[in-house]
Structure 1
Amino acid sequence: MLIAGEFVGGKGSGELTISDPARDSTIIAVQSASTDQLGQAVTAASAAQREWENVSPTDRAATLHRLADAIETCADQFTAVITTQLGSPVGLSERLHVRLAVADIRAVAEALVSMKFEQQIGASMVLERAAGVVFAITPWNYPLHQVVAKVAPAIAAGCSVILKPSEEALGAAALFARCVQESGLPAGVLNVVVGGGREIANELVGHPGIDVVSFTGSTEVGSAIARQAAGTITRVHLELGGKSPSLIAPSGDLTTGVKVTLANCFLNSGQSCNALTRLLVPRENLSQVEQQILGLMPRHQPVDPWSNGARMGSVVSVARQASIWSDIQAAKDRGDTILAGGTGLPDGIERGAFVRPTVFFDTDPNSPIAQEEVFGPVLTVLAYDDLNHALELANATRYGLGGSVWASTNHEAADIAREIRSGQVDLNGGAFNPAAPFGGFKASGYGRELGRYGIASFIEPQSLQN
């Protein structure tokens, strides 16, 4: 843990076990933070924040660039840790998990120097002030990217941060803390505490020294955190679950749309909150889609994450594996049709938290497998009758995080996307943009991360009247 600029061991009564899911083996056990240590982190963050806010935006941006440099220098270490603790293929760990995090930080730094923190509005001087001390709770599925998506905008805004990384992927956060020290960030601006999510949240969400709570995780836990924070009127940002549609319009490139959607759904073993897990296709094309999916499935089979050219590794734990299998079996028991995959270990694999990528075909749109987040490599294919029906299906879940539209032109795709209640929609396979806002509608949360929108999430305006 990192508290007030010093690395310390936990003194709490709880013990966290760090595992290698691909080998179903324990790596190490660490002690959780004590209540006193959590209080020390709040004290350190409060003291450091007041000075850090007075550092110029240009100098804060320079610190962020040094942080990105430090992560790039340690890229091989981050790659190894993420591959080991997440089960992510080694190539994916380097390309997606590490490089994306670096791009996130640099995009925030570039946005910071372009922002105005003072402006005259009539007789008022309006200041953009740091919101204060941020309690950031991050998930395990992107153990570096999700950390920087919260920490970088917060410290860019002049806030200090108490980071509680997921207990299932602590290694990347520990390395990140080392890089933070190398960047020259003042002691106390970032503090890292470890422990069970519920125990630490109970201590810090309603703590009087916390000004903002930023949480990424399930919708159910996010709702509980919002209720707890309401007791102290603490500001909350929530980035929650998703069940994102990939809508291939009648004019769209069906072959490319199916191929990219399948790859996106299975990326990171399906453990992405914005994964395209619902494929919406014209009913008359179902047969063609079926044959294409069957032809593509062999390239997405899970293998040892350290293998050359691996596309899929394991999921994060045997507990996650069991949860995914339970959802697949429940859907099968309800009569939903499995086109490919299913429960049980993939062929050739005898142990570890591996899951066969699974496709449910021509699914009832109201089925739980088509409505609720599985958080694993599970795709549902839904047929629509016309474009209005497709949009109805696209908006027919409680979530609204990601999405994709495939049409003959980007202009047509954009017109369709405007009818989808989702925070981010890709047009004809558009690439992820780390400078653009990321966040959801409906039960996918509120608040935005990344770039200038992420910085704005940690700012409070103050008006000085003449």
Structure 2
Amino acid sequence: MLSERETQFYIGGNWHEPVNVMRLPVVDPASEQVIGHVAAGTANDVDVAAAAARQAFPAFSKASVSERLGLLGRMHALLKERAETFAEALVMEMGAAISFARASQVPFATEHIRVQMEILEKYRFLTIEGRTATVKEAIGVCALITPWNWPLYQITAKVAPAIAAGCTIVLKPSELSPYTALLFAELMHDAGIPAGVFNLVNGTGESVGAALASHPDVDMISITGSTRAGVLVAQAAAPTVKRVVQELGGKSPNILLDDANFSEAVAKGVLAGMRNVGQSCSAPTRMLVPAHRLDQVEELASATARAIRVGAPLDPSTDMGPIANRAQFERVQVMIQAGIDDGAKLLCGGLGRPAGLESGFFTQPTIFSKVTSDMRIAREEIFGPVISIMPYKDDEEAIAIANDTVYGLGAHVQSSDPERARRVAARIRAGQVHINYPAWDGAAAFGGYKRSGNGREYGVYGLEEYLETKSILGY
């Protein structure tokens, strides 16, 4: 089914085959082979999609809560029904290990829809205090730009609240991992989305992304991507004064306080930092540990990393597949070399592919120790399975190191004393802090301080990004 959709866009309730457009290759990162092509959209395609979304907005923004709940419910049911198809697409387009796609990538994406249904059922779009009413209304046409590392998860994190709010949508997924987006457009059609409410245009950030960011008919743009991409989008959006929500880069710290259970905290910290092959903007890749426990941490961390099974992503026993694309694979290799050049202590992993893997964008799980804040591997986002262990002398220094970054997306704190952990968490300048590796919460606000972005996603906080606030006095 996907093959006939590869070079099509979904606009105004129908599939369109653009003519005389470039085709962009889709590469299987495990084999390095081209497995398909998608159409590279242009500003003209964006014009058509934005017009369809604009035309659909007046009616859809007035749809009742029950109508929007019904639509979200059908989306949720279809995603659960087609979970294996989406999981297999994630393996093809970005090399996700099938076990991880099944256990995390798809279920968490499904949960974003369920959470929005739960919120929509009880959300108060009208509140009255005295003679003043406050009304929350759909902001309008929303351009959604999603990344290659969590392709489906980030689509539902944006589409579900936009639908719940009554907005209309133009989606531009990453051209590097576009198959889940095409499958999602089919799902939206089969869920009975009104024509023009959801539109999909594939293409590059330089063409489609830029056209959406500057488009006068787009009222809001939400982007998940690199800080560089977020800056370009904000600059392009400024002349039309549209709302810009950005979830960007990170360099998240993981502070292990001296009273933590180290045998558990170190192992879980390595796995958290290398989850999704380290390709998560909030991955805790800076492990901050007491200097007097450094030898113990090095031993525990190395043992955990060496036990990670890297291999064919379709093998259910594989823990870690390849890096998602060539450019990122090469970036990770450059940063591993930078760690070596800067004098960090290489504990395990290193340059090149793991033994026995001669092709594919496979990378060795790599851990450096004795990393200092002036090293590139401590300052720049690597986006690969690379952990930097950084020693500290006391809690004050740990907090200072944690905050010594231009980013502020996520952070972790480990301690056997909950109150002590809370005190440290309160002082970390990041949008989300995890204490003792809690379960993922799809309703918890997610977003960044500093250069990690603006605005919040997930839960009620994500919904409200898609709403305008109107005061009516004398109500």
TM, length-normalised to structure 1: 0.98
One-letter identity of the residue aligned with 2:152: L
- Residue 21 in structure 1 maps to residue 21 in structure 2: no
Segment drifting more, 152-161 vs 121-130: 121-130
Give 1:280's aligned residue. Answer: 288
Residue in structure 1 matching 2:120, options 105, 112, 116: 112
CA distance in structure 2 between the partners assigned to 1:313 and 1:370 by the alignment: 24
- Residue 356 in structure 1 maps to residue 364 in structure 2: yes
Residue in structure 1 matching 2:56, options 48, 63, 74: 48
One-letter identity of the residue aligned with 1:234: K
Q: Give SS of 1:426's match.
A: strand
Give 2:111's aligned residue. Answer: 103
Give 1:219's aligned residue. Answer: 227
Residue in structure 2 matching 1:397, options 396, 405, 412: 405
Q: Among the aligned pairs, what percent are the same residue?
A: 37
CA distance in structure 2 between the partners assigned to 1:201 and 1:81 by the alignment: 23
CA distance in structure 1 between the partners assigned to 2:178 and 2:201 by the alignment: 10
Matches within 5 A, 1:79-90: 79-90=87-98
Matches within 5 A, 1:410-425: 410-425=418-433
1:187-220 superposed Cα distances (whole Å, 9 cap, x missing partner): 1111000111111122221111000010110111
Q: Give SS of 1:425's match.
A: strand
Shift of the alpha carbon at 1:12? 5.4
Preserved CA contact (<8 Å) 1:140 1:169: yes
CA distance in structure 2 between the partners assigned to 1:11 and 1:246 by the alignment: 50
1:226-271 superposed Cα distances (whole Å, 9 cap, x missing partner): 1121122111000000011111111111111111110011111110
Preserved CA contact (<8 Å) 1:301 1:346: no
CA distance in structure 1 between the partners assigned to 2:396 and 2:53 by the alignment: 51
Preserved CA contact (<8 Å) 1:83 1:305: yes
One-letter identity of the residue aligned with 1:387: D
One-letter identity of the residue aligned with 1:138: T
Q: Give SS of 2:79's match.
A: helix
Shift of the alpha carbon at 1:59? 2.2
- Residue 343 in structure 1 maps to residue 355 in structure 2: no
Give 1:58's aligned residue. Answer: 66
Q: Give SS of 2:442's match.
A: coil
Shift of the alpha carbon at 1:35? 3.1
- Residue 292 in structure 1 maps to residue 285 in structure 2: no
Give 2:326's aligned residue. Answer: 318
Preserved CA contact (<8 Å) 2:41 2:204: no
Give 1:209's aligned residue. Answer: 217
Matches within 5 A, 1:97-246: 97-246=105-254
Shift of the alpha carbon at 1:147? 0.6
Preserved CA contact (<8 Å) 2:30 2:362: yes
CA distance in structure 2 between the partners assigned to 1:149 and 1:143 by the alignment: 10
Q: For the structure 1 residues 231 and 104, does the alpha-carbon distance in structure 2 shift closer, same or farther, using more than 3 Å as the test? A: same
Unaligned runs of 5+ in 1: none
CA distance in structure 2 between the partners assigned to 1:377 and 1:10 by the alignment: 39
Q: What do you get for the CA RMSD once the two structures are aligned?
A: 1.1
Preserved CA contact (<8 Å) 2:133 2:471: yes
Q: Give SS of 2:430's match.
A: coil
Give 2:266's aligned residue. Answer: 258
Give 1:384's aligned residue. Answer: 392
Matches within 5 A, 1:368-379: 368-379=376-387
CA distance in structure 2 between the partners assigned to 1:94 and 1:417 by the alignment: 32
CA distance in structure 2 between the partners assigned to 1:330 and 1:295 by the alignment: 23
1:354-413 superposed Cα distances (whole Å, 9 cap, x missing partner): 111111101112211101100111100000100011000111111111111111133322
Unaligned runs of 5+ in 2: 1-8
Shift of the alpha carbon at 1:294? 2.1
Q: Give SS of 1:400's match.
A: coil
Q: Give SS of 1:443's match.
A: helix
CA distance in structure 1 between the partners assigned to 2:247 and 2:145 by the alignment: 10
Give 2:101's aligned residue. Answer: 93
Shift of the alpha carbon at 1:297? 2.0
One-letter identity of the residue aligned with 1:155: I
TM, length-normalised to structure 2: 0.96
How many residues matched? 466
One-letter identity of the residue aligned with 1:259: A
Q: For the structure 1 residues 411 and 59, does the alpha-carbon distance in structure 2 shift closer, same or farther, using more than 3 Å as the test? A: farther
Preserved CA contact (<8 Å) 1:339 1:360: yes
Residue in structure 2 matching 1:36, options 9, 19, 44: 44
One-letter identity of the residue aligned with 2:265: G
